[in-house]
């Protein structure tokens, strides 16, 4: 399978980083989800991927990560959906897209 990539530029840097989203999501899917089922709206690997990308750009606080994600909602959700290629999570990803928009 071809790698799906996303390019970020860390704050204060002139060099961009290209991240292999397919590999990142695959790795993050091994993180156990400790949330109660009732409170789960978005798949944990997707949330962690957004957090990692925002963190690489220099955003550390929850609101800063949310702002980063909202500013890049269309691009991030398109790339994450491509990288996941999992139709069973499409409703959750669509909710994430609406939330970020």
> Residue 59 is encoded by which pair of tokens?
């955003």
Phi, psi of 36 (to 5 degrees): -75, 145
Any idea where the domains of the chain sit in the sequence?
5-31+42-100
**Residue-wise pLDDT tens digits, 18-73:** 888 888 888 888 999 888 888 777 788 888 888 888 888 888 888 888 888 888 88
Say if pTM beats, i.e. exceeds, 0.75: no
- CA angle 22-49-97, nearest 5°? 100
């Amino acid at each position: 399978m071809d790698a799906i990539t996303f390019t970020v530029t860390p704050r204060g840097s002139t060099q961009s980083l290209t991240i292999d989203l397919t590999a990142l999501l695959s790795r993050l899917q091994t993180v156990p989800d400790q949330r109660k089922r009732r409170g789960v709206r978005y798949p944990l690997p997707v949330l962690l991927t957004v957090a990692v990308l925002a963190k690489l750009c220099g955003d550390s606080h929850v609101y800063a990560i949310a702002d980063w994600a909202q500013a890049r909602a269309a691009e991030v959700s398109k790339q994450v959906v491509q990288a996941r290629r999992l139709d069973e999570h499409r409703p959750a990803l669509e909710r994430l897209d609406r939330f970020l928009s």
